A and B are shown apart, each in its own frame.
Chain A
């Protein structure tokens, strides 16, 4: 297009019509060029906004403390050091804490994929009595803040019992606080952290999937369970990866359920939330206070350690993630 118009510009312009055409195409090119420029600036600007805090965290985390007070230091540390990482590594209880968090997030992620995929498929493809009401409950679950049912949930797992059977046998209820059981049970039954959203996403995905595949399987004599396992599960993999990503990430950074159900067991979010305070207490003693800048520096270093595994997972899952979102449409 551009080459054409330039070529035209080089030639002598003879008729009125040609002149109008040329003017139009120049105008069109200019408009397009302008828009491309504006768009590039906008996209680059927003990307910068998003990446900037991450870069700032990284640069602070490798600075020595005196660099913070040095006015000539801006982003690039003068005294490069791994010392912050050593301090944080020790006080966050790496690698033990890391593995606690890892197992917890993996476990809930896998269990939630299983339960939410099954439930989502059930809601998408079968008709049964009270279906609308039950699906309505999924949406209600989304709206109710977890804090509303926090106290009963805590008490339920603190004094856990199945219809009084356990108390009858052993004479006492079980204390499931500080174990993974509360997470396992809620994930397995699709009532864990933001599971309403995952069920909703899965249902939307299956509703959008072509029906012909299943019908042909039924014609060949497969039952609903076989059809689900052999036909629908393979299609749903990108969506399952997406849900796993969400569930892993949100469990990884969640402070609500981890502090509710785990009192003594340390996970990354719980140690990160009290990192500066605990370092202050242990390194400087109960009476001293460290400088807020240094505390912030340690917090940033801790954040980097928490974020890093997430970024690795995101890079791996990103392809599936974008693909599944594009194909399924999370639309009502």
Chain B
């Protein structure tokens, strides 16, 4: 470290210059040097005008309720006709969430495990599907329209009804191994995979993935869209150049497509995690909602919701930290 000498004259000069700059900035009277600054100021104001709806919403419908819910989580709330009353209970709600509530802990852990199982499958499948429909073939437009259909058909109530549906479950024996035929097929695949001396746990994972293929397809609509959009932005000249140099399609895929698309793997992972956690069909979400509206325990519900939010934040942080290590940024 170089020892810093304090030079009073330099300091004075700097202060003077700083004051001069400030004067320039404040003096937007319209001299030739100040028009640029005035222009920038005008643009900044225009920017605020454009985002003003969001600014209002952010304050009144997001930040305020957000902070309020923290306060709620430390209170017990009674609703009357004129308003609501709060009585402080300290960490009581949090204590109850972990120690007293019969299912919260189990459901939370289960939904995290479910998410960790699903995310890689969804990412791999949607990447694969996007590559498929990015190629040129007859009927591509139709195939694309169908591939994006899950975005529409499997949201909210439609998905909820479908998940609890009895008939569809039986009828789709061909897809989901509820019937004997399906079970036999999966069994054969299992013995085949076990013969290859892979780790049994890994085999179990693959079998599970095959069994739940439809669920994975349903959950990957938006991800396919994002990957497809990314694939379209890769310049064809990259492929041309590398093919000229004698690269095979396989090499092109790993040396060009994969690194170029890697930022989107991060985006998609984050999207998938958020979607699976904030999906109203998620069992934890149901607990939160039932606690508030079926049991009228608003404070307790807020506490559970906060625990859940912090868990999501933690998982997202870890995932982003891990994935962004090997993400390649082109520019």
Contact surface of A with B, Cβ cutoff 8 Å = 36, 39-40, 42-43, 46-47, 49-54, 56-57, 60, 68, 75, 115, 118-119, 121-123, 125-129, 131, 134, 137-138, 141-156, 158-159, 172-173, 185-186, 188-191, 199, 223-225, 228, 245-246, 249-250, 252-256, 259, 268-269, 272-273, 292-293, 295-297, 299-300, 302-303, 306-307, 310-311, 314, 318, 321-322, 325-326, 328-332
**A47 contacts B143, C-beta separation under 8 Å:** yes
**B305 contacts A189, C-beta separation under 8 Å:** no
**B133 contacts A43, C-beta separation under 8 Å:** yes
Q: A126-B44, A303-B162 are in contact. Are A332 and B263 (CB under 8 A)?
A: yes
Of all chain A residues, the one with the shortest Cβ separation from B142 is A47
Q: Beyond the given A296-B168, A300-B167, A331-B264, could you list 19 further A-B residue pairs with CB under 8 A, ordered by the A residue number?
A: A52-B172, A54-B153, A60-B167, A118-B51, A119-B50, A122-B54, A126-B46, A129-B44, A142-B274, A145-B312, A148-B308, A152-B68, A153-B65, A155-B298, A159-B83, A225-B46, A253-B156, A302-B161, A329-B232
Does B230 count as interface, using CB distance less than 8 angstroms? Answer: yes
Contact with A159, one of B84, B147, B157, B277 (Cβ below 8 angstroms): B84
**B161 contacts A189, C-beta separation under 8 Å:** no
**B60 contacts A189, C-beta separation under 8 Å:** yes
A277, B193: Cα distance in complex, Å:
45
How distant is A166 from chain B, measured CB to nearest CB, in Å? 13
List A contacts of B306 (CB < 8 A): 148
List A contacts of B162 (CB < 8 A): 53, 303
List A contacts of B43 (CB < 8 A): 126-128, 224
Of all chain B residues, the one with the shortest Cβ separation from A150 is B292
A156, B61: Cα distance in complex, Å:
9
**A43 contacts B132, C-beta separation under 8 Å:** yes
Q: How many A-B residue pairs have CB under 8 A?
A: 287
Q: Which of B26-34, B195-203, B221-229 contacts A (4 or more CB under 8 A)?
A: B221-229
Does B55 count as interface, using CB distance less than 8 angstroms? Answer: yes
**B50 contacts A331, C-beta separation under 8 Å:** no
List B contacts of A296 (CB < 8 A): 165-168
**A146 contacts B278, C-beta separation under 8 Å:** yes
List A contacts of B82 (CB < 8 A): 159, 172-173
How distant is A16 from chain B, measured CB to nearest CB, in Å? 22
List A contacts of B56 (CB < 8 A): 189
Contact with A306, one of B57, B141, B158, B316 (Cβ below 8 angstroms): B158
List B contacts of A325 (CB < 8 A): 225, 228-229
**B44 contacts A128, C-beta separation under 8 Å:** yes
List A contacts of B144 (CB < 8 A): 322
How distant is A132 from chain B, measured CB to nearest CB, in Å? 13
